Amino acid sequence: MTIGNCSRKDSTVTLGLFAHLIFNRFEPANLSVLACLLGLVPSLLSILFLVHLAIFKALAFAFLTYYATLALSIVVYRLSPFHPLSNIPGPIPNKISMLWMLWIGLQKKRHVYIKQLHDKYGDIVRIGPNEVSIRDPSAITPLMGANGWPKGPNWTGRTLNNPTASLIAIRDPALHNRRRRPWTRALNTASVKEFQPLIAKRVKQLVDRLEQQSSSKEIDLSQWISYFTYDFMGDMAFGHWSEMLDEGDKDQLWQILKGALKTMSFLEPIPWLAQFILMIPNAGEGMKHMRKFNLARMQDRMHSDVKRKDLFYYIHNEDGAEPQQPPIAQLLADANLAIIAGSDTTSTTLSNIFFSLLRNPGVYKKLQAEVDQWYPQGSDATDPEHHQDMSYLDAVINETLRLFPVVPSGSQRAAVRGSGGKFIGPYYLPEGTQARIHFWSIQRDPRNFFPKSDTFWPERWLIAQGDMPAPDDFRHNFDAFIPFSFGSYNCVGKNLALTEMRTVLCHVLQNLSFRFVDGWDADEWERGLEDNFVIDHGALPVTVTVRSSSRAEDSGYMSR
């Protein structure tokens, strides 16, 4: 090779290395900058080779050399001892690229995969070039507490690069606090009491519809629960929204919602890809359709004469508590959040509760006995007056949330640029690192919950509060139980969700009994769980029986 050719190649290599420095330092996501670095620069470099090569060969050689240099430089750096996270263990593919986590995400088993990594590598593991997962309760407060880190960049991908973020996706702590204020007023203890008649109405409707299915050989209980949560959330948030319990999913809204969640989960590991996805014809159509539908319903609510103080009453500033009215784009973003977060998460937890009860007949019988004690036949089981007395009811809910956290792989956090690194518990994480607490792992860790760490055992909660004697080596770490997240970004609808679930369980168990359909393999349930940021599940095939008022021996709660 001539000296001139070597010089030209050296220039291409040098600029490839320089491009890596730019990506490493500034992490550019702007399309124009990316086009310049990845397209214009190697195109211009090809001119250097036109002396000896035809134009297409010159372009190919310049692009190949430039890209090979850039890729090799990135790989070597991310695997080298000079990388800021070099001291944190993890698989080589994870250290090299988030594309590996994208592949894991496509298999919908990210929660299982990360737990396997923790079991192999320890309490902190590198799941991406600049991201770690933590399984240590001492890291929860410093990472997610009042002085912790805000949301990470994955929310850019989850919202399809929407310039107006919903409450859950806001990364600026000050802005998040301002936007959260109306939600807090809408979902405080007093407001939840005002929503109780809406809950009661929809729960009674759910039981009526399930009673009508008692002659059926098989129903999908999880589907009916989904219809209920969607209808109630529409009532609570916007005065009225849908009638799925009566009409089914005639507009395919639930399927669109599920599809949108899967799209959001796909883009989470590589948020910069969102802007390219939007350029593909028909890409993200489900999310666009959902936003269009939600916009129409939201506009109906704006021009309606609804007098009830629903969620929209507060986020639209109809109470006049905020200095100005929010823009339409903000209202739409929060409308999407309310419907997705308020319906899908509660539906998932209730479905997991009923599965766990049917899988554990002794627990089912014990909970139904508690319901019968406080809500005997003929009483109003939608009245929450006895919820505070039902310790086993809360134990069942808590144990389900421990085993099946709604967001199994946690929520990403990242330092504000320029704020420097920080000790997260015993681990120093430099600026530029993203981190998450892995809920699925931390809540199944035997050091936090023992015995029966991977088993549905509600009695552990009664033991922990002193209502039952403790077995040898009993462990119950309340600090490791964070099903509604933690800190200023925790779930604002926690009280409403708990009231909703308690009411459903009391009224349903007072009036109905269930069993798995004959021949169904209950192991399919856990095998079919998917991590789409929110945990997802398949069908729950059961037969339903109306309970008699005699309280005679009822075999309906015995699973097969």
One domain for residues 442 and 542: yes
- With 0-12 / 13-18 / 19 or more C-beta atoms within 10 angstroms meaning exposed / middle / buried, residue 192 is buried
CB of 557 closer than 8 Å to CB of 364: yes
Q: How many domains does the chain have?
A: 2
One domain for residues 71 and 179: no
- pLDDT confidence of residue 549: 59
Bridge partners of 516?
542
Looking at 79, 96, 127, the residue that finishes a domain is 79
- pLDDT confidence of residue 560: 36
Cα–Cα dist 189/556, whole Å: 36
In sequence order, the 6+-apart residues with CB closer than 8 A to the CB of 334 are 166, 167, 179, 183, 315
Q: What is the CATH number of the domain that holds 537?
A: 1.10.630.10
Residue 533 lies in a domain: yes
One domain for residues 316 and 438: yes
Q: Is 361 helix (H, G, I), strand (E, B) or coil?
A: helix
Residue 88 lies in a domain: no
Residue 423 lies in a domain: yes
Looking at 36, 61, 79, the residue that finishes a domain is 79
- pLDDT confidence of residue 506: 98
Looking at 57, 79, 101, the residue that finishes a domain is 79
Neighbours of 82 (CB within 10 A): 9
Domain enclosing residue 365, as ranges = 167-546
- pLDDT confidence of residue 287: 67
Residue 355 lies in a domain: yes
Residue 361 lies in a domain: yes
Structure tokens at 518: 């004959």
- pLDDT confidence of residue 389: 96
Residue 366 lies in a domain: yes
Tens-digit pLDDT profile for the chain (560 aa)? 454 556 667 788 888 888 899 888 877 777 788 889 888 998 888 888 877 788 888 899 889 999 999 999 999 999 999 999 999 999 999 999 999 998 998 899 999 999 999 999 999 999 999 999 999 999 999 999 989 999 988 877 777 667 788 888 888 899 999 999 999 999 999 989 999 999 999 999 999 999 999 888 899 999 999 999 999 998 998 888 789 999 988 877 777 777 767 777 777 887 777 767 666 666 666 666 777 777 777 888 888 777 778 898 999 998 888 988 899 889 888 888 887 777 889 999 999 999 999 999 999 999 999 999 999 999 999 999 999 999 999 999 999 999 999 999 999 999 888 888 999 999 999 999 999 999 999 999 999 999 999 999 999 999 999 999 999 999 999 999 999 999 999 999 999 999 999 999 999 999 999 999 999 999 999 999 999 888 989 999 999 999 975 343 443 433 33
One domain for residues 252 and 355: yes
Residue 532: its H or E element: strand 530-532
- Quick one: the chain helix, strand, coil %, rounded to 5? 55, 10, 35
Residue 330 lies in a domain: yes
In the block, residue with structure tokens 């880190």 = 149
Bridge partners of 384?
none
Classify the phi-psi angles of 219: left when phi > 0, otherwise alpha if psi is within -120 to 50, otherwise beta. beta
- pLDDT confidence of residue 485: 94
Residue 325 lies in a domain: yes
